[in-house]
Amino acid sequence: MNLSKNSAITVILCIVLITIICICIPTDSLLSFLRVGHFSDDKTISPVEEDVNKTVNEKDDLVIIEGIEKIEGDAQIDIMKIDDDYFLFTRCTHPQVVNYGEKVLAICRYVGNYQDVCLRYSLDHGKKWSNILVLKGSKELGCDFLSSNQSKPSLSIGSDGYAMAVFCSQDVSSGFYILEFRDIGDPSKWVLSYIDLSNIQRGDFLYRIENLHDLSADMNSDNEVLIAGIGDAVNISSNHVTRDTPVILFSSDGKNFELVFSEDTPYQNIGLEKTSVSIDEGAYVCYEVRGSGILCLYFPDKNFMDGWEDFSVENTDLTVYKNPHVYTWNDHAIIILESITKDNGDIGFFLTLDSGGSWAPGVVDVASSDYDERMPALCIRDEKFVLSFERGYDVYVTESPDLETWTEPKRVNSAGGDIYPYYGFSDFGNDYGMIWGEIYKGKPVIKFSEDSADVREGLPDILIVENSVNLCNNNSLILKKTNNILSFEIENAGSADAGDFIIEIYMRRKNENEITPIAFKEIYGLKSGERVRVNITLFDTNLKDMVKALILFVRVDSLIIKMDSSNEIYEDNESNNELVLKVNYSSIFPRFSWLENAINNLLNGKKEGEYRDAEQLIAQVLSEYISE
C-alpha cells in the first residue's frame, strides 16, 4: 500500500449508504446522488453504455501456482559520486517515495551508460539526505547490475516499516528482483531477493514466465503483497505461448508467493502497459490498453481461486483514457485517470463502493480546465483524499474530504525546467512527502517536496520585497515631478549566494493581455541574506524621450517586475520573482495627466509610423512648459 489507508474510514462513512443504494438503482441515478465530479457536454467521462464492460460470471480459466519462494542474497550497495548536488537525484527518472515515521526512502532509475537503481534515505523527514546509493547486485545471487540495465522500480511500504521495491533486470529473462528494506534508514538491513519464474510446475505442466515488464507492487496494512506486470506465459509442456498477458503474484506473508495468469484470455497481445496495483480488502490490477482504453482485473475478496473480475472502458471517437492509477481502501476502489476530449486532458475517475459490483464515473472539477491535466496519482492522508497531477508542465496538488469538493490546486514545484511528461512523478509516501521528475537544462532531475514545500537546502531565494516598490524622479529641473524611475528592494532569502541575473520591467495597458518591455537591469550577484535597493530608469527626461514616453504610456494600467525570467538561477522558490504594480498615467506624469485623453484621441487609428505629427505637437506643448 502506498499510504496508510485505515485512517480514511471516517472519511467514507457518509458514502457507505450509497454502496447499498447502488445495488438497486442505475449508475446514472447513483451519479446524481453522489455528485462525485463534474459532468457537462464539453468535458465528460461518462462513456456510452457499450464502451463500459464489467465481467463477473464469465471468468477466464486461471493458472494458479503456489509455493513460489524468494531466493535471498546480500544487497551490494555503493556510493555514487556526482558533480551536481542541487537536486535529490540528477540524471534519474521514475522516482517513488515512502516513509515510516521520520524516515523517508526515495528510489529511482539512473540513466547513464547503464540504467541502474539508485536510492537515498533520510532520517529527519527529508531535511537531510544520505549520499546517493547505487544497487550493484549480489554475489550470492550472481548478479552484476552495473553491467546491465534495470527497469523502473516500484516501491511500497507496509504498516510496520517493512518496504520493498520490485524491478526487472536485463541479466535475467524469467524472473524479477525484490529489494527488501527491513529498516529503510539502515542499508545494512537491506536484502536483495530473486523470484525465479523459469521453471514452475502445476500438476503435469511446466511453465515459464518470460519478458516481464511494467511491474507494479503494493502492500496493505497486513503486509500482504500484490505484484503485477505484463509478460509471456510459456507452457513448456505443450509449447504454447500466451504473449503480453497479465502476470500477477500475491503473498500473504511476503515470503511465499502464488502466481496467477491465464492461458486462455482475451487480454493477451493487446498492448497492455502502465501497470498500477493496489491491495486492501480486495486486490486490483489496472492497465492502460495502448490506443484502446483501460482494463482493471480485480479479486474482491483476494480469493484467487474464484478467478478475476474485470472492468474495462474503451476509447471512443470523442474521448480517450490514459495513465490509470488504481487506489483502494477497505472494500472501495477508485481508478483515477486522464480523460482526453477534443484534445484537452482532464482528470477523471471510476469509483466503486461495493468491491467492484458497480462503477460510477466522475471528473475532478478543479482538474478540468482548458489546460491539459495529466499524470494523476491519488492517496489518502490525514483523512483526506490527496490528488496530484500535471498541468502545463507543473505539479499541482488538491485535496478533498469526499471526492466531491476539492481545494484550489496548489503548484508544488517552484523552479527548474519543464516537468517531464512521460514519467510518473507524483507518488506519495504514507503521510509525508512527494517526489517528481523534471528536465532541468536538458537533463532529467528528481525533486522531493515536504508538504508541498521544497526542502532542498543550500539554495538561493531571490525575491522582491513587499511594500518597497514606488515611482520616483531624479529631481530634473527640465521636467519637474515626472516619475521616470521605478525603485524597489530585492533580497536573497535563501541559504546560498545567487549569481548574476537580469531584472526586466514590462507595461500592460488597460483591457489588453499583452505586455510591452520597458527597461531592464543586470544584477551582478546577490549574497545570502543581502538586501539592496534597485533603481531602474524607465525613460530619460530629455525632450525627445519625454515625447515618446507620453505616447507610450497612454492607457497604462500596471508595471510588471520580473526577476530571472529565464530561470538561470535554481532557487528554493520561484513564485516571489514577479510583482505587479498598479499605476495610471498620472502616477508617472502628475503634471501632464490631462494630456492622456488628448493624445489617445490624436493617435486613434494611427500606426506607430504615423505618429510624427502628434510628436511635434506634444513637443511644442512640452517646450512651453520648459520655458515657464
What's the pLDDT score for residue 556? Answer: 95
- Where is average pLDDT lowest: 129-143, 325-339, 375-389, 483-497? 375-389
State which H helix or E strand residue 241 sits in: strand 240-251
* pLDDT at site 474: 75
Q: Listing from the earlier edge strand, what are the strands of the sheet with 309-314?
A: 52-55, 309-314, 293-299, 283-289, 272-279
Q: How far apart are CA 574 and CA 399, in angstroms?
A: 23
Between 608 and 124, the higher pLDDT residue: 124
pLDDT at 156: 93
Confidence label for 543 from pLDDT (cuts 50, 70 and 90): confident
Secondary structure (3-state) at 572: coil
* Average confidence (pLDDT) over 254-281: 95
As given in the structure block, the three cell numbers for residue 95 are 522516482
> pLDDT band for position 624 (50/70/90)?
low
Residue type, 403: L
Judged against a pLDDT cut of 80, whether residue 5 lies above it is answered with no
Q: Given a cut of 90, is residue 252 above it in pLDDT?
A: yes
Question: What is the mean predicted confidence (pLDDT) over 577-605?
Answer: 88
The per-residue pLDDT for range 290-317, each reduced to its tens digit, is 999 999 999 999 999 999 999 999 999 9
Q: Write the DSSP string, 6-24.
A: GGGHHHHHHHHHHHHHTTT
Asked whether the beta carbons of 406 and 387 are under 8 A apart, the reply is: yes
Q: How confident is the model at residue 507 (pLDDT cuts 50, 70, 90)?
A: very high
Share of the chain above pLDDT 90, in %: 53
CA distance 210 to 245: 11
pLDDT digits 0-9 by tens, 62-71? 999 999 999 9
The CB-side HSE value for 381 (13 A sphere, CA atoms) comes to: 22
Task: Report pLDDT for 37.
Answer: 33
Is the torsion defined by CA of 238, 240, 241, 246 positive or negative? Answer: negative
Residue with cell 552484476: 144
Cβ distance 350 to 361 under 8 Å?
yes
The single residue listed with the C-alpha cell 529503510 is 184
pLDDT tens digit sequence for 544-573: 888 889 999 999 999 999 999 887 787 767
CA distances from 483 to 41, 171, 217, 584, 595 (A): 52, 71, 64, 12, 16
- Residue 404 grid cell: 466531491
Beta strand 240-251 with 225-235: parallel, antiparallel or unpaired? antiparallel
Q: Where along the chain do the CATH 2.120.10 domains lie?
A: 61-315+416-454
Q: Model confidence over 132-160: pLDDT tens digits? A: 999 999 999 999 998 899 999 999 998 88
Summarize the confidence of residues 313-325 as an average pLDDT.
94
Task: Return the minimum-mean-pLDDT range out of 44-53, 83-92, 541-550, 556-565.
Answer: 44-53
Nearest CA to 349 out of 314, 17, 339, 43 is that of 339
- Which segments within 480-530 are labelled E, that is strand? 485-492, 501-509, 515-523
Residue with grid cell 491491495, as numbered in its chain: 279
- What's the rounded mean pLDDT across residues 422-429? 41
Residue-level pLDDT at 90: 87
- Grid-cell match 491519488, residue found: 378
Cβ neighbours for 596, distance < 8 A, ≥ 6 positions apart: 554, 555, 585, 586, 589
Question: Domain 462-627 sits in which CATH superfamily?
Answer: Immunoglobulins (2.60.40.10)
CATH of domain 61-315+416-454: 2.120.10
Angle, nearest 10°, between helix axes 9-21 and 27-34?
Answer: 140
How much of the chain is helix, strand and coil, in % rounded to 5?
A: 15, 45, 40
Q: Is the model more confident about 476 or about 503?
A: 503
List every span in the chain annotated with CATH 2.60.40.10: 462-627
CB 296 within 8 A of CB 284: yes
* 360 or 495, greater pLDDT: 360
Q: Is 276 helix (H, G, I), strand (E, B) or coil?
A: strand
Q: Which of 458, 388, 443, 411 is nearest to 129 (CA)?
A: 458
Terminal alpha carbon distance of the chain = 81
d(CA 42, CA 318): 10
The per-residue pLDDT for 609 is 56
Question: Any idea which of 250-264, 393-407, 525-539 has the lowest mean pLDDT?
Answer: 393-407
- Give the pLDDT confidence score for residue 39 in this predicted structure: 32
Task: Give the 3-state secondary structure of 436-481.
Answer: EEEEECCEEEEEEEECCEECCCCCCCEEECCCCCEEECCCCCCCCC
Residue 259 confidence (pLDDT): 97
How does pLDDT run across 23-32, given as a tens digit for each residue? 333 333 222 2
Q: Is 43 exposed, middle or buried (0-12, 13-18, 19+ CB in 10 A)?
A: buried
pLDDT-derived band at 476 (thresholds 50, 70, 90) equals low
pLDDT at position 83, please?
57
Which of 358, 266, 482, 503 has its CA nearest to residue 28? 358
Does pLDDT of 195 surpass 70?
yes
pLDDT in tens, 74-83: 999 999 876 5
Enter the C-alpha cell of residue 438: 523534471
DSSP string, 339-386: EEETTEEEEEEEEESSTTS--EEEE-GGG-SSS-EEEEEEEEETTEEE
The string of DSSP letters for 411-445 reads E---SSSPBPTTS---EE-SSS-EEEEEEETTEEE
Here the cell at position 296 is 482493471
Distance CA(439)–CA(416), nearest Å, equals 7
Question: So what's the pLDDT on residue 608?
Answer: 59
490 within 8 A of 562, measured Cβ to Cβ: no
The answer to whether 258 and 266 have CB atoms below 8 angstroms apart is no
Check residue 285 and give its pLDDT. Answer: 98
CB 390 within 8 A of CB 425: yes
Say which range, 6-10, 486-490, 605-609, has the weakest mean pLDDT: 6-10
Q: For position 418, what pLDDT does the model report? A: 45
Percent share of the chain, pLDDT over 70? 82
Give the integer Cα–Cα distance in Å for 617 and 520: 30
